[in-house]
Amino acid sequence: MTSLEELSNIASQVRRDILRMVTKAKSGHPGGSLSSTDILTALFFRVMDHDPATWTRQTAGQDAFLLSAGHLAPALYSVLARAGYFPVSELATLRDFGSRLQGHPSTEHELPGIILPSGSLGQGLSAAAGIALAKRLDGDPHRVFVLCGDGESEEGQIWEAAMFAAHQGLDRLVAMTDWNGQQIDGRVEDVAGLDALEEKWTAFGWNVVVADGHDFESILQAFGIACAAGNGKPTMILFKTEMGHGVDFMAGTHQWHGKAPSEEQCAAALAQLKETLGDY
């Protein structure tokens, strides 16, 4: 079992990967990738029952993961590569013409680990509910995990899916919100006033867990509660996070939502993050 220290080391390497990928591509979304890094690291290296060697889009006999907030692709690509879904050397091709690492997750390019495309927001929770329905029909007890953004939760379809999953009693569905409080145009509370998330999800009939998305003990405890639920309700984990977490000049601001650092900025950022597994 991956220890807390090992998780922390993996996350540091993932953050380095994200910064180097986005810098080379000269575009991409570092802010949310850095805020969701610890959640994704815990999921793929400790929580999920999955096997990269036998994985298919159908995820039969495995847990499934969907990235609803597709712009967090750099974080997902790094975690998938580090978990063994494809060679880490391929991370250098992010956003290149012909790369399997499209700007947003694509299935057309058949990158292992990607079940459905995402990028146009608000759609992944519905798809995750569909996968959970299929697993229930097939008697497959595995879980479906899906990561959404808090800004993304301004999409009406998220709340359609919230009603549907609760009505269907999909208690093998675990949704997560990367609650970093930022979106492209500013703070979420200033842009659209999306507050009271805990109350909203509770009112929609979900189990709700609130956790610190940068503390592995808190993250694992939240997943423990979510996976033990089994009470006929889906579970939403609201992970309180910080956009740009791990790099002092990127942290806590929407300015780095969708902007690549310069070579100099990247070097300054990398100086703050330990190379633990070897850069790709």
Partner 1 sequence: MKKYIDTGKTDTRSGFGAGLLEAGRKDGKIVAMAADLRDSVKMGAFAKEFPERFFQCGIAEANMIGAAAGLAVSGKTVFVGSFAEFVTGRVYDQIRQELGYGHTNVKIASSHAGLTLGEDGATHQTMEDIALMRAIPGMVVINAADYNQTKAATLAAAEHFGPVYLRFGRPARPNFTDPDAPFTIGKADVMTEGSDVTVVACGHMVWEALQAAETLEAEGVSAEVINMATIKPLDGETLAASAAKTRAVVVAEEHNAAGGLGEAVAACLADRCPVPVAFVSGGDRFGQSGTPAGLLAAYGLDAAGIRAAALRVLARK
Binding site for partner 1 (CB under 8 A): 57-60, 106-108, 115-120, 122-135, 137-138, 156-157, 160-161, 163-164, 167-168
Q: How far is the CB of 127 from partner 1 (least distance, A)?
A: 4
Phi, psi for 215 (deg, rounded to 5): -120, 115
Q: How far is the CB of 267 from partner 1 (least distance, A)?
A: 36
**Contact between residue 275 and residue 13 where contact means Cβ atoms under 8 Å apart:** yes
Q: If DSSP codes are grouped into helix, strand and coil, which group holds residue 234? A: coil
Q: Which CB atom, from 122 or from 181, has the smaller least distance to partner 1?
A: 122
Strand partners, 174: 145, 235
Q: How far is the CB of 153 from partner 1 (least distance, A)?
A: 14
Q: Which CB atom, from 106 or from 235, has the smaller least distance to partner 1?
A: 106
Q: Which CB atom, from 52 or from 186, has the smaller least distance to partner 1?
A: 52
Q: Beta strands of the chain (E only): which ranges? A: 64-67, 144-149, 173-179, 182-183, 186-187, 207-212, 235-240
Q: Which CB atom, from 94 or from 162, has the smaller least distance to partner 1?
A: 162
Q: How far is the CB of 228 from partner 1 (least distance, A)?
A: 24
Q: Which CB atom, from 119 or from 258, has the smaller least distance to partner 1?
A: 119
In order of 78, 127, 195, 241, the CA distances from 270 in angstroms are 15, 36, 34, 20
Phi, psi for 181 (deg, rounded to 5): 75, 10
Q: How far is the CB of 57 from partner 1 (least distance, A)?
A: 5
